[in-house]
Each structure stands twice: as C-alpha cells, then as structure tokens.
Amino acid sequence: MAKIQAIRGMNDILPADTPVWQYLEETVRKLVSSYGFSEIRMPTVEKTELFKRSIGEVTDIVEKEMYTFEDRNGDSLTLRPEGTAGCVRAAEEHGLLYNQIQRLWYTGPMFRHERPQKGRYRQFHQIGVEAFGMNGPDIDAEVICLTARLWEALGVADSVELQINSLGSAAARQTYREALIAYLSGYKDQLDEDSQRRLDSNPLRILDSKSAQTQEILNSAPDFQDFIDAESRQHFNELLSLLDAVGIKYKINPRLVRGLDYYGKTVFEWVTESLGSQGTVCAGGRYDGLVEQLGGKPTPAVGFAMGVERLVLLITTLARVPDYVNAFSDVYVIVAGANAGLPAYSLSITEVLRKALPGCRIVLNCGGGSLKSQMKKADKENAAYAVIIGDDEYSDKNVSVKSMRKDRLLPGGDMQMKIEKSALAGLLQSLLK
C-alpha cells in the first residue's frame, strides 16, 4: 500500500533536532520570566471572524493564507495564523485587561497557506510576547531590550539588525494614505501586480513591496515623516533615546510597515543576512487600537512574535548551539551474560543510579544482544561512560565501568575498572558533575 506522507509545508521535528528546539525554548522561557512575563496558552483554532477583524480583511494573511473550514455545526473556524488576536481575545474574555497591566507570552504552532521554502512553512512556530495597559515608550524599549538580550544569550547578537519605524496615529496614517494613493495613482501601470491591487485597499503595504521597480517609484513618494502626528513623533524620539541609553543599535527604516493592520506608532523587525531571503526572525510593534476593535475597552499594547524555525536555522547555521545540547547520554548500562538474575540485578542498579544522578541521561540496554553490539549502541548514544554488568559482575556483586570518550577518563586515567556495586553511584556522581 502507498505510504501516507505529511502535508506539504508541515514539518516533523525529528529527535536529532529537538534538542536544539528545547535549548531555544528553555533559553526563551528563562529570559521572558526574568522580565516578569507570564505564559498564556490559547487554543489553536478560533472563530474566523476574530482574525478578519484584527489582522484586517485586506492583508496577505486574511486574503490568501488562512486555513479556514466549516466545522460540523456550520461555524467558520480558522487555524490560527498568528497569536496576538487569540491572546487579546483570551485576555479580554477572562477579564485580564480592563484597568490592568499584563505581561504575557506564548508559544505554539501557527498556520499559513504560503509557498513553502527555506524559512517559510505552512505550519510554523512562533514565540510571542504581549504587554498590555502601558502606553509609554518605556515598555516599547523594554520589550526590545528583551529581544536584544535573547540574541546575546543565543550568541547571535552580531548577526541581527534592529529596524525600527513609527506608523503614527490612525488619523496620520489616513491622511498619508490619501497622499500616497494620489501619488502612486500616477504610476499605476508601472507598479507590480500586488501593489496595483493594494493601491485602493491597503496602499501602505506597497511600501514594503519586494519589487525593485515599485521601490524605485517610491523613492519620490510623499514621506510619512511629514505626516506623522506630534504625539507619535515624541513617542518615537523618546523610544530611540531609551534604546541609545541601553546601547541597543537600530536602523530607522521609513519603509517598514507590518503585514497586519493593527499596528500603529512603533513597529520593528530584527533582520539577519545569514538566512537568505527569509531574514526576519522577529517582528512586532504597538497596537493600541486592537483591544477596542475586538470589543474591549481602549487598552494600549505592544508586542512581537519570533519565528522559531528561523531562529533554529540561525543558531545551527552559525554553529552557536553549545556542545552540551547535542551530547546524548551520560551513562549506558550494558547487560551481557547468561545468568537468570542479571535483568533484575541490572534494572535495580540502574534505578539507584537514576535516583542518585538527577538530570543525567541514563540508558539501560533492553532486548539483550552481544557485548559488542551493546557497546556499539553505547557509542551511538554518545555516552560518556558504559556500566557493564555480566555474569562475573553479578556473582561478585560489583560492576565494570568503562570510559567511552577520551575526554572522560576514570580516576587515575583508567579506561576501565571494576568497582563495588554500592560505590558506583558515588563514582559516577563525581565524574559527571
């Protein structure tokens, strides 16, 4: 029978790769907690209306990327394409937002029907951070600091660049929008296809068009800086001086707009040149209007989302994953002999070891096999030490310990030694600490 394969653009994350994912997730978990953020977990599926109303009808995501389906009740549901909408929905639904400050984060799979390629998938993972109830530039600076600290922790700080911009107030964007439409209408035929389509519906998105010719036309377009409102300008300037104060370098990119309608004032992206064209590893900004747009009281908010696949690619491409992450096992227990008491003897020794060495990875050979084949398995596990239990060890109430790597010798520089069963845990404890 033909084998059934995974869906295009939806990846299995295999055992060889999960240690890097876990390392990344663990690093993030510690860091966000050190900034006082608490985890929130939302469902993967939400009502379609939630995304239409928040992300915007005329965006790539809502127009052509959502996995939308009718469930058995006839309701229109969508696999979440991003986390902010669901996070706001959940926080609002449970009364976490009104008159309160919240610092929340989440992680999980997101779904977008895009053309799969390196760094762009149909199921991908994001880590998102959202801060509610604070309207000053200080919290914008704080979430950007958090990302900068993460790049340091992951050893990629010198490979990512912060691009930042202000989209101003809704009113300023509206006036600018009209000026932009008036200007670009004169060049309509020369714009790329997507931009032509967006000219009336979502002209700001034309600013980040990938087409060289469109970008050329934009060089003489009205400048948003001439339209930005005084309050947003001040917010932006204060943010920049806060970033200066903590030594975070940035590049102001006046063409930076985001693919979701809910952003205003601050927007930013962290971009790398090490991953080819899928170079944005983190993107976010301020979205003061969203909570109200979803039926809540006006609540200022700022946040960002990171692409986990792109970060995993980045730290592996740049070889920044610490060695310990991929070191598989500490101890491999080999059971080779004919004595009927051996299985119980070795099982109980291994359990004692696991209790005495919490945090160590100890693999017991199950299913028998020759000494040679078990040694091969120990090698494959990359074990630091093998504990060998055979018929002699069983009758003498001791065990053999063998160093499996040159950098992990036994006391006195031995490769192999025998030791009383009762002293084994103590020996390994001192060797593995």
Q: Which amino acid is at 156?
A: V
How many residues touch ligand ATP (CB under 6 A)?
18
Does 114 bind ligand ATP (CB under 6 A)? Our answer is yes
Contact pattern for ligand ATP over residues 65 through 84, marking x by CB under 6 A: -----------------x--
Does 126 bind ligand ATP (CB under 6 A)? Our answer is yes
Does 236 bind ligand ATP (CB under 6 A)? Our answer is no
Cβ-closest position to ligand ATP = 307
Stretch of residues binding ligand ATP (CB under 6 A), selected from 163-171, 239-247, 304-312, 356-364: 304-312
Of 309, 330, 381, 393, the residue at the interface with ligand ATP (CB under 6 A) is 309
Bridge partners for 120 per DSSP: 117
Q: Tell me the closest approach of the beta carbon of residue 119 to ligand ATP, in angstroms.
A: 6
Does 259 bind ligand ATP (CB under 6 A)? Our answer is yes
The nearer residue to ligand ATP, 225 or 280, going by C-beta atoms, is 280
Does 11 bind ligand ATP (CB under 6 A)? Our answer is no
Q: Tell me the closest approach of the beta carbon of residue 124 to ligand ATP, in angstroms.
A: 3
Other C-beta atoms lying within 10 Å of the C-beta of residue 92: 19
Does 106 bind ligand ATP (CB under 6 A)? Our answer is no
Q: Tell me the closest approach of the beta carbon of residue 74 to ligand ATP, in angstroms.
A: 29
Q: Tell me the closest approach of the beta carbon of residue 123 to ligand ATP, in angstroms.
A: 8
The nearer residue to ligand ATP, 278 or 293, going by C-beta atoms, is 278
Q: Tell me the closest approach of the beta carbon of residue 186 to ligand ATP, in angstroms.
A: 27
Stretch of residues binding ligand ATP (CB under 6 A), selected from 17-25, 44-52, 303-311, 332-340: 303-311
Contact pattern for ligand ATP over residues 279 through 298, marking x by CB under 6 A: -xxxx---------------
The nearer residue to ligand ATP, 82 or 381, going by C-beta atoms, is 82
Stretch of residues binding ligand ATP (CB under 6 A), selected from 101-109, 116-124, 236-244, 377-385: 116-124
Does 124 bind ligand ATP (CB under 6 A)? Our answer is yes
Residue of 392, 430, 377 lying closest to 408 (CA atoms)? 430
Does 121 bind ligand ATP (CB under 6 A)? Our answer is yes
For every residue of the chain, which 3-state class applies, written as one string? CCCCCCCCCECCCCCCCHHHHHHHHHHHHHHHHHCCCEECCCCCEEEHHHHHHHHCCCCHHHHHHCEEEECCCCCEEEECCCCHHHHHHHHHHCCCCCCCCEEEEEEEEEECCCCCECCECCEEEEEEEEEECCCCHHHHHHHHHHHHHHHHHHCCHHHEEEEEEECCCHHHHHHHHHHHHHHHHCCHHHCCHHHHHHHHHCHHHHHHCCCHHHHHHHCCCCCHHHCCCHHHHHHHHHHHHHHHHCCCCCEECCCCCCCCCCCEEEEEEEEECCCCCCCEEEEEEECCCHHHHCCCCCCCEEEEEEEHHHHHHHHHHCCCCCHHHHCCCCEEEEEECCCCCHHHHHHHHHHHHHHHCCCCCEEECCCCCCHHHHHHHHHHCCCCEEEEEEHHHHHHCEEEEEECCCCCCCHHHCCEEEEEHHHHHHHHHHHHC
Of 58, 63, 67, 120, the residue at the interface with ligand ATP (CB under 6 A) is 120
Are 206 and 179 in contact by the 8 Å Cβ rule? The answer is no
The nearer residue to ligand ATP, 311 or 388, going by C-beta atoms, is 311
The nearer residue to ligand ATP, 68 or 280, going by C-beta atoms, is 280
Are 288 and 232 in contact by the 8 Å Cβ rule? The answer is no
Does 268 bind ligand ATP (CB under 6 A)? Our answer is no
Q: Tell me the closest approach of the beta carbon of residue 407 to ligand ATP, in angstroms.
A: 37
Contact residues: ligand ATP, CB under 6 A: 82, 112, 114, 119-121, 124, 126, 259, 278, 280-283, 305, 307, 309-310
